[in-house]
Structure 1
Amino acid sequence: MPHQYVDLELTVKQVRAETPQHLSVIYERPRGFDYEPGDWVDLALGVELRGGRTYSLSSAPTEPDLMITFKEGLSEFKRALAGSAPGDTARITAYGNDYEFHLAEHRDSVLIAGGVGVAPFRSMIKQMRDTNGSGSVQLVYLNQTDAFLFAEELDAWQRELDDVVVHHLVTKGLSRKKREAALRDIISVDAHHYFIAGPEGMIESTEALLDTMGVDHDDIRIDIFDGY
């Protein structure tokens, strides 16, 4: 459920390069701040800046700090985030979860990520690993290159957890027909829930593919990552 009209101060602990195009900003977690894997936050940086300010949390509630991960961009807001330094402050003005975008206990889930859309899925799988969560997870991670975010962590958690399977798919050079054929070969059609996170076009094409595979539309949850 979204929480509006919030005012929580954050302090930057670290800015970390994840890939040549992606950064994570790690904040001290405000005392008493609770959230669910898959939640987003609205951020304010003290001055009005153009660009999107909503970011999915890539950290899990079991971790001591908060983390957002994003692709570097040209908007004023993203440039300001990228220029953050330890000790800088920001504020959470809203946070929460839309459309039940979180794993359910005792349910099997397919997570389909496009690029930085893997951020909320890192949170979900990390939480599952730390709490011995029930149900199985299949993560299908599409990226234009082999510079996959959180690759070492995800591979390690896959080895630790019998019910987690991770597939990495490089899409550069693949036609839509070949990409869809690869997804048909990978994606389970027996899951209870399907989660798609990434750019709007990727989400629309993946929803259409799932429909042709017989997945009930009511079982699909989406999280759109705008370019800003």
Structure 2
Amino acid sequence: MDNKTPPFSGFRGRGLLFIGHKIIHTSIATQLEKEYLMCAGPSFGLLGPTLSNTKRHNVFVSYHHRNDQQYRDYFENLFARHHDIMISKSVQIGDIDPNLKTDTIRQIIRDRHLRTSSVTVVLIGSETWKRKHIDWEIAASIRETQYNSRSGLLGILLPTYPRNNPNKYYHKTIPPRLYDNINCGFATIHNWTEDPNTISSWIHEAFKRRTQIRPDNSFPSFVNNRSGDGWQK
């Protein structure tokens, strides 16, 4: 698998068309789409097959904006638009002024983006654990307040996540607050998949756990982005 390009065929991203492991600008996508549809057959449709009778949840997608925007767009296109198994509530680049005070940013994340979501999915790439906003988003997601109910939580290891064994991960290179909640049973972590039934199941199980298991929100909040080979308390 190419670790840099999401492997999927035949749908548009933001200004892009994904064909196999290649990314093609939409300026040349129309003819390619027609050719793809001719091969796929009329039952497939422009965006492919969708799942029916699947319970959809409002999902907040937390991710490293600079490194993993391509995967976030791909994830949303595939599962929110293509298969229609979730409703995406993630923060887009430019949604929040980075020059605002820390408390203001946290409040905007909590009140504007997390209030209507019920599950948070963390897309984990090579430097996701370093980002303060991801730590804040996870913390706000699992906090029960008067106005916002707690969200379920799960992590998905992207193909860009660095490791030698595809069945293992180094806990110091995933977000520490996510790791604490994996340990207490509130969250789960999974390898990347494009199977909508699997993703739907993970999301629904996280949704159910949010009222069955108490999360661990004790990790000291990030003040700044971090650096190094792994997090420390």
TM-score range, shorter chain: 0.3 to 0.5
Identify the structure with the greater helix proportion: 2
Q: Greater RCO between the two (CA within 8 Å, min separation 6)?
A: 1
What TM-score do you get using the length of structure 1 for normalisation?
A: 0.34
Q: With the length of structure 2 as denominator, give the TM-score of the two structures.
A: 0.33
- Kindly name which structure, 1 or 2, has the bigger radius of gyration based on alpha carbons: 2
